[in-house]
Structure 1
Amino acid sequence: MKREHFKSSLLIMLSMLLVVSCTDLEIEESDSLIADSETEFTGIEEPGPFIDNLYSADLKGIVENQQDLYALNEVTTDELLVPTRGTDWGDNGIWRKLHEHTWDAQHPYVLNNWNNLNQLVFRASQVIDDRTTNASATQKADARFVRAYAMFWVMDMYGQAPFRTPGDGPNIDPMVMTRPEAFEFILDDLNTALPDLPARGPSDENLRPSKAAVNFLLAKLYLNKHIYLGSGTPAAADMTKVVELVDAITADGYALESGYFNIFRSDVDTETIFFTISSVGNRMWNGLHYNQNSPGNGGGGWNGWSTLAEFYDLFEGDPNTNVPGSGQEERRGFVPTDGSNLGIGFGFLIGQQYDANGNPLTDRPGNPLIFEKELPTLAGNNERTGIRTIKYHPENGEFEGHQIIFRYADAHLMKAEAILRGGTSGDATLALVNDLRTIRNATPLAAVTEQDLIDERGRELYKEFWRRNDLIRFGKFADAWALKINTDDFRVLFPVPATALLTNPNLTQNPGY
């Protein structure tokens, strides 16, 4: 059996180029869901290794990449930005455009993300296809779960989802599901997979899906259902469903874990529902300065990614320093002054930085390495502007292959939000939020509003892929924040990549692009 690949249709491409005005469009094999197959698809002969590759290669690569899925969900928000420092991180403005909200249908990360996710959908479909008759029920459930995960992001980010069955020939254009149709497709995949996956609590085997992982993704679907179906208002029944799904996760043995930054080690904990063997290197080194290093990475950081002062100010503590004893809650972390933890702090790095001997660091020109709170612009920065963020830490492995995808604290906050939005439960939103705040050494709240909830999600889940999704659900993605240029409402969806439109006439461009 010859494995099918995504390939563009030359005839469609040429005909569309006659009527579509685009410049510098390069059509790659992965820019379309049109399969180039010289032989009929007869199924996957060895589904076990094939599924292993879906998780250990395809999904791994998507999650560990600092571009594409991660950048589109984080750098487009108030949480992260990538300022240009001299010529470093200039990259023809592609990072700045994400934070400014000035991306278009030719942005490379918009295209790459589309290709990567849709390719994962297609490859998982090869296992699920009826012609793959020697796959076990669990193997097909594993494939359905990863397909649902990939299609969830396609639906969430692009508002439509192309789909083709593995046996379709190269002359058949992929059909395109609307957002509500894709929602139902994902829902069916997850509900079909659920009975055939193990009921597994905290475990080092959670790099494969369990019932808890399925229930987590189902909870995300129902929590955002009013966004995906366009009703505008969450239904009480859907919010109650979120509560029930989170309660099922709790019943499997998951719970909030104390010691916030220990959760991001590779050790088994009560919070990690689903993880990949993706390297965490990008998550730590892309923001650390060139002179911040470790025994396993003497070359230091890459000195790019930062956060906004206004996001840092969401946390309790002194607004101008984050050394130990600054009155900060645990999640804001600290900057060690005694050389502990390789001299590299946790959470938010602001002010003077130190080496592993407790000596003050300098930047490359010799200035004190003091991370400044404010960024003057997105371009023209020096080496010191911007607060840096770090959750995964090099003392636990400079490029450790353990990155969390689903975490219980997220589910806990989903339940709190669902109750606030009308879901039925024996628990109360305020108590749930304060349970989390107490274990994170933050002052309990007297009441909880929607603003409190979105802020709490930011404090708990920063750098974990969800900020864009959360801001959209709370109606805040189009809000103004520092160094952002546009506040266009239509940017809650990304454009369909220009080359994808050329290769599949069933696709339509999203409004505004």
Structure 2
Amino acid sequence: MKIKNKLKLMIGFIGFLLVASCTDLEFENLGGIEPEGVGESSDLLASAYGQLREFANERTIFGLSEHSSDVLMGPTRGGDWFDNGVFQQMHLHSWAPDHLFIRTVWSDLHEGVFRATQAIEGNGATSQIIAEAKVVRAYYMFHILDFWGITTFRGATEGLEVDPLVRDGAESVQFLIDDLESALSDLPDTSNPNLANKNTARALLCKLYLNKAVYEADDRSSGTFTFGSEDMNQVVTYANDIINSGVYSLSPGVEGYFNTFAELNDVQSTELIFSVPGSQIPQFKAKWNCSLHWNQKPNGWSGYATLSDFYDTFEEGDSRLGGPYNSATNPYTNSSGVSAGFLIGQQFDDEGNMVFARDGVTPVNFTREVTLKVNGEVEGIRVLKYIPDFTGGIDNADNPNNSMVLLRYGDVLMNKAEALFRGGTDPMGQTALTIINDVRSVRFETPSPFTAVTADNLLQERGRELYWEGWRRNDLIRFGKFLDAWQEKPATTSERVLYPIPPTALLANPSLNQNPGY
């Protein structure tokens, strides 16, 4: 077929010029090569769900969301963890448009968007398949909008001669809101959290309305946004729908909090709204290997640390700080000697013996002190948010049954509290203060209520509740703090509030313009 041959030649020529962009071009071209249809919608929806596994990658999307923030650092340790400076650049906000994480995330998210669009336009698409695909697509597009300030869109059957549509921030957020609200009636009321349902859409709508003023702003770097009361009321409405569904609750204590991140969390957690099953994530173990020391159980890669300034925002008695984790099914601490949450000070094995570094002499005594560029094996407070699977006391950490959390109930409550703080009204009579204190009453064994809610303590509380879950950059921008100086990072310039569009994407789509300052 002549059209196919021309497309193949064109793809080959562009691929020759733009080797690094081959992934983008391959999935974008699929629609043009198959003009008679894009495949079975049910299969394509499964593929769109499957692409969500990229949110579990400890580098790419997580890198853009958390490494660029004040809660995480990827310090260089001797000859380890330099990786051509990718972690240092994220922390210092000194990335260039061709940064590996930025290029990879652009490709991964757009691939997810396209797979979901194929499911919507594919053969045999039922109203529920279309609705689920819209939710999955919106999750990808939300992050594209958040990272780059725009979204792009190509229909599943559009060919190379059609440049993907580019929407600005205001157009993008309204498109996503309209698309999700149109899907609500066709979604199931409840489902396994690995599949989209009404509450998945509502939780994402909470995020969109809460950030709407940011996405509509001409300049996000100002840190000053006009949060409309109507938008904040929509956050409250959708949060109340989730609350009143009666499906979710918070659980007390260290075990209650960390069950949300432990094995079989899609079954045992009372919080999960949307998640990716571990069976879809070949390297789930990276969620704990990235921070644990080489000689701990399971043996880690001795990489990431948190910042002591962030650690110091926690109060004594806060279960989110962590501690021994031994659930009815997973006696992890008894089997490994390792606690959940923040790891600081001397580490021990499951028999109570001191753990030593690889030289056999230096104690693994995690320190508060850590720098970005020069460290040994033990510098920096480590974080174990996801609990390794030691079901029945047997090490299953290389093949765990944990699911990756994408949306959860604690986040919904924090979003509702913030919306009320920013001018929303709750027909249920709650205030930002009562919600925050309700959450804290569960997270603390001895109540430690706030007397008032301020922008500063609300941002801190969001950090304590949601650390290392992929929302910190988003929060810092909305609170006008993302460009500030923090530990091992000077204040950064205004363009860093958005990421640069990869050069290969600019060459592939003439409708795109580089973000200002790059």
TM-score > 0.5, shorter chain as reference: yes
For residue 321 of structure 1, what is the aligned residue in structure 2?
none
- Give the residue type in structure 2 aligned to 1:260: Y
Which amino acid is 1:308 matched to?
L
Match of 1:121 among 103, 113, 117: 113
Q: 1:165 to 1:371 in 2, by over 3 A?
A: same
Could you tell me which residue of structure 1 aligns to residue 308 of structure 2?
Answer: 309
Q: CA deviation at 1:38?
A: 6.8
Structure 2 match to 1:274: 274
Q: 1:499 to 1:39 in 2, by over 3 A?
A: closer
- Whether the aligned pair in 2 keeps the contact of 1:227 and 1:473 (CA below 8 Å) is yes
Distance change >3 Å, CA 54–CA 38, structure 1 → 2: closer
Is 2:28–2:114's contact at 8 Å kept on the other side of the alignment?
Answer: no
Report which stretch shifted further, 394-403 or 267-276. Answer: 394-403
Contact kept in structure 1, 2:320 and 2:465, CA below 8 Å: yes
Amino acid aligned to 1:418: A
Q: CA deviation at 1:12?
A: 7.2
Mapped contact 1:12–1:502 kept (Cα < 8 A): no
Q: Is the 8 A contact 2:357 2:377 kept in 1?
A: yes
Matched, 1:471 2:476: yes
Amino-acid identity (%): 41
From 241, 246, 251, the counterpart of 1:248: 241
Give the stretch that moved more between structures: 181-190 or 214-223. Answer: 181-190
3-state SS in 1 of match to 2:275: strand
For 2:310 and 2:344, the matched residues in 1 are separated by 13
The 8 Å contact of residues 7 and 34 in structure 1, kept in 2 or not, is answered as no
**1:85 paired residue among 77, 90, 111:** 77
Moved more, 441-450 or 111-120: 441-450
CA offset digits 1:233-285 (Å, max 9, x no partner)? 10011111101100000111222222211222223332111111144422211
Which residue in the other structure is 1:422 paired with?
423
TM-fit CA distance, 1:335: 6.4
User: Residue by residue, what CA displacement relative to the aligned partner does 1:441-480 show, whole Å, maximum 9, x if unpaired?
Assistant: 1511111111111100000111111000000000000111
Instruction: Work out which of the residue numbers 208, 228, 235 in structure 1 matches 2:195.
Output: 208
How many angstroms apart in 1 are the aligned matches of 2:10 and 2:112? 17
The residue correspondences of 1:288-437 to structure 2 (distance < 5 A) are 288-294=292-298, 300-317=299-316, 328-334=317-323, 340-365=334-359, 366-375=361-370, 377-394=371-388, 395=390, 397-398=396-397, 399-425=400-426, 426-437=429-440
Query: Match for 1:46 among 21, 40, 45?
Result: 40
**After alignment, is 37-46 or 67-76 more displaced?**
37-46
Q: Verify the 8 A CA contact 1:339 1:357 in the aligned structure 2.
A: no
Say if 1:256 and 1:68 are closer, same or farther in 2 by CA, change over 3 A. Answer: same
Report whether the alignment pairs 1:67 with 2:29.
no
User: Structure 2 regions of 5+ residues with no counterpart?
Assistant: 219-224, 326-331
- Distance in 2 separating the partners of 1:12 and 1:160: 24
The 8 Å contact of residues 68 and 112 in structure 1, kept in 2 or not, is answered as: yes
Corresponding residue for residue 322 of structure 1: none
2:404, 2:31 → 1: CA distance? 35
| AA aligned opposite 1:467 | R
Instruction: Measure, in 1, the Cα distance between the counterparts of 2:8 and 2:304.
Output: 33
Change (3 A) 1:264 1:220: same
Structure 1 residues 192 and 7, CA gap change in structure 2 (3 angstroms)? farther
Q: Does residue 166 of structure 2 align to residue 162 of structure 1?
A: no
Cα displacement (A) at 1:505: 1.2
- 1:16-65 CA distance string (max 9 Å, x none): x8xxxxxxx7433224475166744233442222212221x2112x1221
| 2:176 alignment partner in structure 1 | 186
Question: What is the match of residue 329 of structure 2?
Answer: none
Q: Work out whether residues 37 and 169 of structure 1, in 8 Å CA contact, stay in contact via their aligned partners in 2.
A: yes
Question: Equivalent residue for 2:221?
Answer: none
The 1:206/1:37 distance shift into structure 2, 3 A limit, reads: closer
Aligned residue in 2 for 1:443: 448
Q: Secondary structure, in 3 states, of the residue corresponding to 2:64? A: helix
Change beyond 3 A, Cα 1:100–1:316: same
- Please tell me the residue identity of whatever aligns with 1:240: N
Query: For residues 123-142 of structure 1, what are the structure 2 equivalents within 5 Å?
Result: 123-129=115-121, 132-142=122-132
CA distance in 1 between partners of 2:133 and 2:35 (Å): 17
Q: CA deviation at 1:191?
A: 1.2
Instruction: Tell me if the contact between 1:34 and 1:171 (Cα under 8 Å) persists in the aligned partners.
Output: no
After TM superposition, the structure 1 stretch with the greater mean CA deviation from structure 2, 463-472 or 394-403, is: 394-403
Determine the structure 2 residue equivalent to 1:174.
164
Instruction: Say which SS state the counterpart of residue 406 (structure 1) adopts.
Output: strand
Task: Provide the residue aligned with 1:283 in structure 2.
Answer: 287
AA in 1 matched with 2:307: L
Rounded Cα–Cα distance in structure 2 between residues aligned with 1:83 and 1:335: 26
Amino acid of the structure 1 residue aligned with 2:293: H
Q: 1:392, 1:27 → 2: CA distance?
A: 33
How far apart in 2 are the matches of 1:199 and 1:289? 43
Find the residue that maps to 1:347 and give its secondary structure: strand
Q: CA deviation at 1:385?
A: 0.2
1:305-335 deviation digits (Å, cap 9, x = unpaired): 1000001001013xxxxxxxxxx31110136
Cα distance change of structure 1 residues 501 and 285 upon mapping to structure 2, 3 Å threshold: same
User: Bigger shift: 392-401 or 486-495?
Assistant: 392-401
Aligned partners of 2:60 and 2:105 also within 8 Å: yes
Provide the residue aligned with 1:230 in structure 2: 217
Single out whichever of 487-496 and 307-316 deviates more from structure 2: 487-496
1:474-493 alignment runs, 5 A limit: 474-493=479-498
Q: 1:30 aligns with which of 17, 23, 26?
A: 23
Which secondary structure does the structure 1 equivalent of 2:485 belong to? coil
The 3-state SS of whatever aligns with 1:188 is helix
Kindly indicate whether the alpha-carbon contact (under 8 Å) linking 1:70 and 1:465 is maintained by their aligned counterparts in 2. yes
> Which 5+ residue runs of structure 1 have no aligned equivalent?
18-24, 295-299, 318-327
Q: Which residue of 1 aligns with 2:91?
A: 99
User: Residue 100 of structure 2 aligns with which residue?
Assistant: 108
Deviation at 1:175, TM superposition (A): 2.0
Matched letter for residue 272 of structure 1: L
Letter aligned with residue 193 of structure 1:
A
Considering only aligned residues, what root-mean-square deviation do their CA atoms show, in Å? 2.3
Q: Kindly indicate whether the alpha-carbon contact (under 8 Å) linking 1:7 and 1:31 is maintained by their aligned counterparts in 2.
A: no
Offset of residue 144 of structure 1: 0.9
- Alignment partners' CA distance in 2, 1:370 and 1:342: 16
Quote the Cα distance in structure 2 between the aligned partners of 1:158 and 1:37: 24
